[in-house]
Structure 1
Amino acid sequence: MKMIDDLIAAPPADPLQGGDAVFPQAEFTGRLARLRLAIQPLGADAVMLTGPENIFWACGRQTAGYFAFQALIVPLEGEPVLLVRQLETTGARASTWLRDIRAWQDGEDPARALAELVADLGIRRLAVERDGWFVSQSLGARISAALEGVDLCDGASVVEGLRAVKSPAELAAIRLAAGYAQAGLGAAIERCAAGVSENDLAAAMFSAAISAGSEAMAMEPLISSGPRSGVPHATWRRRVLLEGDPVFLELAASHDRYHAALMRSVWIGSPPAEARRMMDVALRALDAALASMRPGVPCSLPHDAAQAVIDDAGYAAAFRKRIGYSMGAAFAPDWGEGAILSLFSGVSRELEPGMVFHLPATLRAYGAFTVGASETVIVTRSGIEILSDLPRTLCIR
């Protein structure tokens, strides 16, 4: 009889829970365990995550509505608790395995709802993210005021340090994303011709990448032609390609929010000698960076290897940037994890198996043209795995 009574008393299972989760529950259980270990040295009772990428990494929560305040509180002991806008609760139940999801209502100050949650959990010392993009100065001030009496400590970069090394499940998603990116970029290259517009290239790129399997991209593709191709981060604006035009093409496609990027250069007709020379230097710089990558070397080494090639050729002023940045889970406005880890001078963290990087080797005649190529790579036990086999040479159309 007791067994029957227990079954009757037990709450019914949530039919939505985890139904749209990107990974099995065990993947997130392992991540939360590593996160708890990472915050122990802070002496905090819990950590509060507010960045959409960090929340996604820790529990799988994803939505297009991350413009509204959300917070995941992970205590040292006990269940994590997710606080979201009321409208978002259904999606939160479906995309995560969490059992405790709380809500704040439209018209309610989320800072007050957060303070009530922290008090309910009995948290006295809370580690908080300091570098999140989606907590305004105004909201941050209200949160600090509402949490008066709670000891707030800096939890910045705790999750980011863990996100830098990907699990096998994450790497599998990134490999799929790389295939989608190559499909999109290949289609855009094939569409390049005099008389075709930048919008036509964008349509071909989107269509092929999405048809191949890509989901929403965390940043729009970069498509520019003629003199506009010499402007960093320019996007398509209806310009019609002319004979003699350079064309710059770059995108990152996604699978379950995990991104892989790819960039190539095209020329309509015969490129000038200077563009050919710069392209040769860019490709040699990329080769040097890739050849230097293996576990145990600092993140500065690939950049320094590429920079040496560029400096020796006299094109330092045409570069002036890092050679690469980390890739992984991403939400707009950025497809990369460049705020987590860069391949750049002075970055001492060593490469580890499971790290993923995008290396765009570009040289620019600013306001005239850009040439170069990129690869997304996985660091392996012995070197790297390059996720594209698309030719890197300047494509003449």
Structure 2
Amino acid sequence: MHRNPFSDEELAGRVAKLRAGMDERGLDAALVSTPENIFYLTGLDHWGYFAPHLLIVPAEGDMMLVTRAMERVSIDRYVRNARFEGHTDSESAADLAVRVFRDRFHARDRSLAVAEVVREEVSDLGVKSSVGVETWSAGFSFGFGNALRDTLPDVEWRDITGLVDEMRLVKSPAEQALMRAAARVTDAAVEAAVAAISDGAAERDVVAECHAAMIRAGGDAPGFGPFIRPGARLGEEHTTWGDGQYSAGEPVFLELSGCVARYHAPIGRLVHVGSISDEDAAMAETAKAAFNAVVGALEPGQRASDVYAAWQGVVDAAGLSHYRRHHCGYAVGIGVPPSWTGGNRVTGLRADSDMEIRAGMSFHVLSWLMGTGKGDYFLSNPVLLTDKGAEILTETDFGPIVK
């Protein structure tokens, strides 16, 4: 949040690729509203994404970034490839976006109010512009969409959801370096959290040590987490620490990610306080074998369903053919709060996915065997597929970890 991590050449290549996709679809412009995608195309890393941002990408010429006027300093400092357009808090981003759009595509006077333009000049706009918009975006509300549609009736709107997201799946060498840096932060955070866990340790103290280690290791604020909570609250999925203390005989769930320049390298472990049962220790070996099967299956040309099948094959062979998961991992990289999953959808390694695996992809690979009836264990790691094969980015021991 204190620099633009990308070179001009890196950003120019991404914008050129987006424009090639726009040309294939016959688009005059694209409106990008997903925070992760705006960051990918401009390098803007800040917490201002809670308010609407709209990156207007014309087929040629300067891009324009529409957001609150108070963000001018940050955008002028960090965004080098888009013109800033700021709106006051007495109007909406849509109001300003309509004016900018009309100026750019219809050469209208900026001083005219939107209502006057709609009333007096709509019949003179001529040929419709074809504009792509991310209709499934956390940054594009129903009201925002309606405002654009209702005040720009001569625009043909086309859904481009996933166009930039697809580009982001394959990481460039610069992005891969950032993910490795994030993994070092992840390892430091896990080490600190595990060291703090003990019988009687306060949940808040454990997470405080984890956060401190993240920051000292060079990490930025992660998209969410860390998720550290007692086994009794395991099924809560996305809740965090509480006011309690950890006790001998129970596991501690730990899932977190270091973050460097918005890139994440998530990890997950169960930490057993005091001891681990024989059943759970045996399940740990199955979970590790299944994880390794996923890593072995991550090869260019494979399908996500093939990768999941490799995980399920180990699970079935262990006598757990009744056990199924919704995925054994998901694509990871850029994450803007409130998540590290890359947006409001999860691109999973699922049994029903035909997504092609390609070099440069990165995943949070999970081997989750909880509630099997024959023991419980969980581990996960960030994995990057390089030209030399799948690389586990973190170095934290697979466990079992007993404290």
Change in Cα spacing, 1:64 to 1:355, as seen in structure 2 (3 Å) is same
Deviation at 1:340, TM superposition (A): 6.0
Alignment partner, residue 213 of structure 1: 218
Offset of 1:106 from its aligned partner? 0.6
Give SS of 2:271's match. Answer: strand
2:386 corresponds, among 351, 376, 380, to 380
- 2-structure distance, mates of 1:208, 1:99: 36
Structure 2 distance, partners of 1:258, 1:370, is 30
SS in 2 for 1:84: strand
Distance in 2 of aligned mates of 1:198 and 1:225: 8
Aligned match of 1:229: 234
Q: Verify the 8 A CA contact 1:360 1:374 in the aligned structure 2.
A: yes
Q: Is the 8 A contact 2:197 2:206 kept in 1?
A: yes
1:187–1:204 contact (8 Å) kept in structure 2: yes
| 8 Å contact from structure 2 (residues 53, 139) kept in 1 | no
Q: Give the secondary-structure state (helix, strand or coil) at the position aligned to 1:343.
A: coil
Rounded Cα–Cα distance in structure 2 between residues aligned with 1:337 and 1:300: 21
Q: 1:317 to 1:101 in 2, by over 3 A?
A: farther
Q: Distance in 2 between matches of 1:291 and 1:125?
A: 44
**In structure 1, what is the Cα distance between the partners aligned to 2:321 and 2:132?**
42
CA spacing shift, 1:135–1:201, aligned 2, 3 Å: same
Q: 2:45·2:261 contact (CA, 8 Å) conserved in 1? A: no
Partner of 1:30: 13
Once residues 99 and 138 of structure 1 are traced to their aligned partners in structure 2, the CA distance between those partners, rounded to angstroms, is 25
Q: In structure 2, what is the equivalent of residue 275 of structure 1?
A: 280
1:142 and 2:147 aligned: yes
- CA–CA distance in 1 between the matches of 2:11 and 2:83? 15
C-alpha offsets along residues 299-321 of structure 1, whole Å, 9 cap, x if unaligned? 22221111122233344666522
Overall identity of the aligned pairs, in %: 33
Please list every run of 5 or more consecutive structure 1 residues that lacks an aligned counterpart in the other structure: 1-18
What is the distance in 2 between the residues matched to 1:128 and 1:230? 36
Q: How does 1:107-122 map to 2 (within 5 A)?
A: 107-122=90-105
1:292-331, aligned counterparts within 5 Å? 292-315=297-320, 319-331=324-336
- What is the RMSD of the two structures over their aligned residues, measured on CA atoms? 2.1
Distance 1:103 1:54 in 2: 19
Q: Name the SS of the counterpart of 2:370 in structure 1.
A: strand
Corresponding letter in the other structure for 1:70: H
Corresponding position of 2:203:
198
SS in 1 for 2:49: coil
> Distance in 2 between the 1:245 and 1:313 partners?
24
How many residues matched? 380
One-letter amino acid matched to 2:29: A
Alignment of 1:103 onto 2:122 = no
Query: Contact 2:182 / 2:258 at 8 angstroms: preserved in 1?
Result: yes
Deviation at 1:370, TM superposition (A): 5.7
Structure 2 partner of 1:6: none
* Alpha-carbon distance in structure 1 between the residues aligned to 2:244 and 2:212: 19
1:20 aligns with 2:23: no
Which amino acid is 2:203 matched to? E
SS at match of 2:131: strand
Which residue of 1 is the match for residue 110 of structure 2? none
Letter of the 2:325 counterpart: R
**Aligned residue in 2 for 1:175:** 180
Q: Select which of 93, 104, 112 maps to 2:76.
A: 93
Look up the SS of the partner of 1:214 in the other structure. Answer: coil
Which residue pairs with 1:127 in the alignment? Answer: 132
Query: How far, CA to CA, are the matches of 1:137 and 1:218 in structure 2?
Result: 24
Distance 1:66 1:99, change over 3 A: closer
Q: Deviations over 1:23-55 (max 9, x none)?
A: 121111111111111111211101110011000
Matched with 1:13 is none
Q: Does 1:156 align with 2:139?
A: no
Provide the rounded CA distance (Å) in 2 between the counterparts of 1:343 and 1:366: 20
Q: What is aligned with 1:365?
A: 371
Cα shift readout 1:110-167 (whole Å, capped 9, x = no counterpart): 2121111111111711100011012222222222212221111111111011111011
| TM-score normalized by the length of structure 2 | 0.89
Structure 2: how far apart are the matches of 1:244 and 1:138?
A: 51
Contact (CA 8 Å) 1:319, 1:363: kept in 2 or not?
A: no
Query: Which residue identity does 1:43 align to in structure 2?
Result: G
Quote the Cα distance in structure 1 between the aligned partners of 2:355 and 2:235: 32
Q: Secondary structure at the match of 2:269?
A: strand
Partners of 2:141 and 2:59 in 1: CA distance: 27
Question: Do the aligned residues in 2 keep the contact of 1:324 with 1:358 (CA within 8 Å)?
Answer: yes
**What TM-score, normalized to structure 1?**
0.91
CA positional deviation for 1:205:
1.0
Q: Is 1:351 paired with 2:357?
A: yes
Q: Which sits farther off after the overlay, 311-320 or 211-220?
A: 311-320
Q: Distance in 2 between matches of 1:346 and 1:258?
A: 27
